[in-house]
Amino acid sequence: MGSDIFTCVGIEIRGGQEPLFLPLIRTLGERHNSTIHLYVRSHEEEVAYRAHPERKLWQSVTNSNVHIPALRAEGLVERDVISRARKYETIIAEPINRLALSDRQLGFPFVAGAPRHPRAPFAEKASNTQLLHALSEAAAFWESEIKAKGLTILLDGSKIMACMARAQEVPYRRLCISRYESYFYWATDEYLTHPGLREAFDSLSEWPDVDIEAVYDVALEKYLFVSLGMRWRSLAKQMVMNSLRHFYYKARGMERGRAMSWRSMAFYPVMVRLAYNRFSKLAMATLKDLDGKTFVYYPLHKEPETALMQSSPEHLNQHATIISLARDLPAGVLLAIKENPSAVGRRPKNFYNEIAAIKNVVWLRPDTASIDVIKHAAATVTISGTASMEAAILGRPALTFSDRVSWNFLPHAVAITKESDLKTALDWAVNKFSDFDKARRDGARFVAALKMVSMDMTGYGRDKNKRVLLRPENVEAAYRGLCQSLNVEPFESSELEVA
């Protein structure tokens, strides 16, 4: 690829991204004379960016959220809708219903582990014909935009954008966390594929030792916000603010005002806190309680979540996963489960009690340090979550139910793509795995490779008030990382200014 890949850039900008993405857009314009077409997810954002002080940086602003009005369409002819949907299935080479998984409102029926996640009434009431029409409209939108505007690269959009870009052989990149410290990378598809990682691993002949004592920085910020939000004073403030937002949205006629009822929006934080209190009484096991016992660790995913819904569409039901694990564990081996704090309040009503009824399952306290559990577990299992990568880095057996995660090429990391393989994988991890020294070396080598093909974004994040923090060097790192992912030589420039 040459630098002309940046001739005409389509970029979808989401909440919280502006501090980084606006300087990046400016950089592409200055260094590559790029024409920028901006995409947003609401009419209000479209109006705001058209009046933005930096509006000269882009040629157009378009609301890409076309599936919402399409979901309400009336008078549809079912036969024609199905025919059109099947045309797009041929184009994207997968069932069109998978496109729904990238959207929390369209994909909510597939979120088996979070039926209490807030839902929009219009999405619940939509028929199958309306859903197929909405997905086809979204696919048609990106098909038209790519052709009409001559887009040469698409950045940071949804799965639907990625699918249509791939169908028309236009490069797609999405900014993702590398799940290690403050490193980020530009994924090449909606499955968050990390370009060049395996090649970098194979190229290394020496690397430093590594150990990890905590999860990646972005996760630490998330858990901090969750814990602060559980305080009763914070909950009262959230209730007032959610109520004010709801009535503001309604008064302005905004889409968000119709997304859920006032009652659901106002009292949702309290519902979460009460659920957390009930769960905490059930999840009482500590790591000390497991001392001297053999156990496998399964940390739950939050739902809905990109790492689960979009990255692992073949394996969505965590309750079924837990049952399978408990069923196939060797005798005397326990399954230790830890909840994701962000998921409490969204689970099915009897979810925790039904799992607790399985005799070889123990619920860990929610404040248990995940890294400590990984270090003592015979194996760590996730569908596609970070904990299994952390286990692999530490030289511990790591099992995933996705063959798309970036660390599966390591010898001590196993992807379970068929349930019939689960028993064998668990037996290997618990009873047969022994080469911990080599696994630790491979884990350290993996981290060295990860750093080689990722961007060090130290300083980029949010403070306790959720304000975005950014350094000028973060913008340069993002630009150079984007060029690296495309095999494009970055252009040099004078010192950047952060917007």
- Cα 351 to its chain centre, rounded Å, is 23
Q: How far is 367 from 359, CA to CA, in rounded Å?
A: 23
Separate counts of helices (H) and strands (E) for the chain:
19, 15
Using DSSP's 3-state secondary structure scheme, residue 333 falls into coil
Locate all alpha helices (DSSP H) within 253-313, ordered by sequence.
262-282, 306-309
Q: In what order do the strands lie in the sheet with 413-415?
A: 361-363, 334-338, 295-299, 379-382, 398-400, 413-415
Residue partners of 435: CB distance under 8 A and separation at least 6: 412
Structural contact between residues 287 and 376, judged by C-beta atoms closer than 8 angstroms: yes
Q: How far is 386 from 373, CA to CA, in rounded Å?
A: 14
Q: Is the pLDDT of residue 255 over 70?
A: no
Query: What does the pLDDT read at residue 428?
Result: 98
Q: In what order do the strands lie in the sheet with 153-155?
A: 60-63, 35-40, 8-12, 153-155, 172-177, 183-187, 455-456
Query: What does the pLDDT read at residue 495?
Result: 46
Question: What tens digit of pLDDT does each residue of 71-100 get?
Answer: 999 999 999 999 999 999 999 999 999 999
Rg (alpha carbons) of the chain, rounded to whole number: 23
DSSP state letter for 258: G
Q: How far is 422 from 424, CA to CA, in rounded Å?
A: 5
Q: Enter the pTM of the model.
A: 0.87
Structural contact between residues 175 and 25, judged by C-beta atoms closer than 8 angstroms: no
Question: What tens digit of pLDDT does each residue of 395-417 get?
Answer: 999 999 999 999 999 999 999 99
DSSP state letter for 364: B
Binned at pLDDT 50, 70 and 90, residue 499 comes out as very low
Can you list the domains of the chain with their CATH numbers? Answer: 230-282 (no CATH), 283-451 (3.40.50.2000)
Query: What does the pLDDT read at residue 29?
Result: 96
Percent of the chain having pLDDT more than 70? 89
Q: How far is 87 from 73, CA to CA, in rounded Å?
A: 20
Q: What mean pLDDT comes out for the span 33-45?
A: 95
Q: How far is 494 from 295, CA to CA, in rounded Å?
A: 55
Q: Is the pLDDT of residue 438 over 50?
A: yes
Binned at pLDDT 50, 70 and 90, residue 113 comes out as confident
